[in-house]
Structure formats: structure tokens, C-alpha cells
Amino acid sequence: MTLTLEEYAQQKRDEGIKIPAKINQRWQGRVVAQGLHNQGAAGATQYLAQYGRGIQSPKVICLALKAEAEGCPEMADGFWRKAYELELGESPPDGGSGTPLAPSGEKIRVDGLPTDLQPGAIVTMQPVDTDRTRDELIEDPRYLAQPKRDGEKRVCIATPSAVYYQSRQMKLWPAPDIAMDDDLKVAAAQFGVFVVEGEVVFHDVEGVEWRTGAAAAEANLLKGHPDVYPIPRYCVFKALYYDEQDLRDRPESVRIDKADPIVRWLVDRDSQRFELVPTARTEDEKRALVALQEAEGREGEVWVAHDCRYVGGKQNGATAPYLRTKHAVPLEVIVLDLTPTTADGRHFASAKVGVYDGQEIVSLGCVGSGFSQDDQAKLARLHSETPRRVVITIKTRGFTHLGKIQHASFEDFSDTAPAACRR
């Protein structure tokens, strides 16, 4: 028999779970600091949107119990629903999942939008890594350039009464921020229903950009500002639907231009939460954009053909319409361990790596890509013969707020002594 939401919650209450100190700290530093406890179930939705990436049911249960203890039953209900879904793998029979659905449980329909531009039905166009050099792309008049934002892609479908946020995986997500949601509704009342594409990032107390709210909150903690909550920002690249027109068959330059009035209006209203991502069109502008991305330690650039149609998925090849280039830094690291795998033909899943920091080896995380079968066999043999003495060169596109390598790949074996490996 399927549990109701209340039966599930009561079972967890009866287990006598103690609320850990970390949950109490997060209640004060995240929930109360942002006033989320006064926003009912929407407060739980917003908390999970900012800090819930990869969250597991035990933590959500503790948040629900904490909300109940603080006299916030509606917020607790939002957390209970999320815990139910995570633990039981389905929505409670007496209510939705927090993902916006029509009352009948059918998919959302926005009047006037084509079927394949409805929330949850949009197949996004995706950039592919390219072997072309930046100089080639800078000098190619067909390509426009935009800075790559290291966030999470969201297509935003905005109406005066509701806003929907769809991921690249065609899933619907809650609003990154209630104020952002409200601004987008007002914009839709001003401009009509629109669909725009961009990435959501989070800024810490120093304005540094992070992929998730949890990462930005952790950065604020490490910087001595635990009570300052991250500010989400929606960085808009282009419009897919505007002024009752489906723009996907128009040139990319038109899609970029059509986003301009909407986002400029939003930026004027709230410059913290919205950004019109700049587009470099001339050789000089593209060269300046690349130099700025590199100087700021950004991930890279996106290059899009000004005359291309919007076609969902990836298109490969040197002349593909949507390309990306990434800044990667070479780094020599020590192989600390090899993680096991059951995959045929592979000797390990990934290599745990580190560097010396003073007199100790500090772990930098794992590298799992870039290894050929021969590379894997050689590394497995060398590591077995001389554990923690093998040095390899990797390329990484930066470090997380916890000092772990990001988007790293294997490059080659190195003759450097382990003791020389320092970050």
C-alpha cells in the first residue's frame, strides 16, 4: 500500500531523529537570513533550488523536522515532499512533486507556444568542443563569440502568471530565486509570453561566480561571511520565442538581438539577478573577449554561426554551427590510487591524484577522462610497481571552492619526481 505524505512524515517523526548542529546552522545562515521561513512551501522550493543539488533524503528529512520545530508547517511540507520523492522514487499520492504540473497531472501547456516549445519539451542546441584554434574562429566572419558561463543551462518560458525553467535534460526545475521569478512575470506582462535561453550561476560575497548556490554559500563561509546568502543570476544568451514569433528558423544573430530588449529591461529592474551575455561580432571584439576570459580565469568561449538555425542536440565537425573552446591549465600530479571498475577493457575507473603542500600530499580529486586503453594499462602497471611514485600531467579548467580539480583530463606521463609536484 502506498504511503500518504502525512503517513511518511509521521514514520520519520516516530524514529526520533535528532537535528544535527549543521542543520541548525544552515537554518540560521541560509533559511532565516533569506527570509525563506516566511514563504511557506515556496521557501522550501527556493532552498532546494539554491542548495539542493545532489542532496539526499536524510538531510531533507532533518530540514523538514527543523521547519516543524520552528513553527513553519508549510515549509516543512515542501521538504517532506522532496524527501518522499528521494527515498521512495515517486511523488506522494496526495500531492505534486514541486515541479509545476497541470492539475490533471498532464504536461503544462502555454497558450500560443508551439508543441516543441512547451515547458519540458524543448530540445536545446548544444555546443561541441572544437579542434579549431581561437585565432581561426576570431578571423572567421561567420562566427560570433560569447563568454562561456560555468553554470547550469536553463530555458525560461515566461508568462504573466507563471514562469517555467527547463534544463538541458528537458526537466523542469523550481525558480532559482523568488524575486527573479516575480521579475520575469512582470516582464512577460510587459513584452508578452517569451522563451529565452541562458545559464543560472550564483555569486558569492565577492561577486565570484559559482555553479550552484551550495558552492557559493560554502565560499561565503570560508570567506568569513556565513550570513551572506548567494545571489543567483540568470545569464541570457538568446531568445527562442518573442513577439508571438518562433525564432528557431531565424538566424542566430536575430535570436541574440531579440533577447536584447527583454533582458535590458530586466537588468534595469534588477542588475544583480540578470545579465545580457555580451556578443562579440568583429575580430577586435572577439579577440578582446578571449583575452578577458583568460585574464579572469574563465572556463572558455562559445562560438556560434551568425546565420545558423536553432537545431536541437549536437552537430559535429569543423564547420558545426555551435562550438566551444576551453581554457585548460597543465598540471603535474601524483597518482594516489586507482578506483576499481567492472567495465570491460578498463583497468580502473579513475585516478585519484594530489600534490605536495608543504610536507604533506593534498588530494585534488579524480581524473577519469583522456586515458586510452594503453595509457590505462601502463598506469595500472606503474602504480602497482611504485605506489604514489607515478607522476602524470593533466589539464584542468580550474579548481572548485574546496580546491578540487575541475573538468580534468589525462595528458601524458611525466618524468618529474613526486616531491616536485606542487600547485
Q: Where are the domains of the chain?
A: 5-88, 115-326, 329-420
115-326 and 329-420 in the same fold: no
Instruction: Give the model confidence (pLDDT) of 387-411 as tens digits.
Output: 999 999 998 877 776 778 887 888 8
pLDDT at 298 over 90: no
- What would be the CATH architecture of the domain defined by 329-420? Beta Barrel (2.40)
Percent of the chain with pLDDT over 70: 96
pLDDT at 251 over 60: yes
| Sign, Cα dihedral of 97, 98, 104, 109 | negative
Provide the terminal-to-terminal Cα distance of the chain, rounded to the nearest Å. 56
CATH of 115-326, one of 3.40.50.300, 3.30.470.30, 3.40.1080.10, 3.40.1390.10: 3.30.470.30
| 3-state DSSP assignment of residue 210 | strand
Q: Which residues does 278 contact at the CB level (< 8 Å), separation at least 6?
A: 146, 147, 289
Return the residue matching grid coordinates 565577492.
Answer: 206
Instruction: Give the model confidence (pLDDT) of 170-217 as tens digits.
Output: 888 888 888 999 999 999 999 999 999 999 999 988 888 888 887 787
Instruction: Give the model confidence (pLDDT) of 131-158 as tens digits.
Output: 899 999 999 999 999 999 888 899 999 9
Looking at per-residue pLDDT, the higher value among 123 and 298 belongs to 123
- pLDDT at res. 105: 44
- pLDDT at res. 1: 59
Nearest alpha carbon to residue 336 among 413, 380, 375, 390? 390
- pLDDT at res. 99: 40
Q: Which residues does 370 contact at the CB level (< 8 Å), separation at least 6?
A: 394, 395, 409, 410, 411
Among the residue ranges 82-86, 101-105, 293-297, the one predicted with the least confidence is 101-105
Instruction: Give the model confidence (pLDDT) of 306-342 as tens digits.
Output: 999 999 998 888 789 999 998 777 889 999 999 998 8
Instruction: Give the model confidence (pLDDT) of 22-61 as tens digits.
Output: 899 888 888 888 788 887 777 887 788 778 877 899 999 9
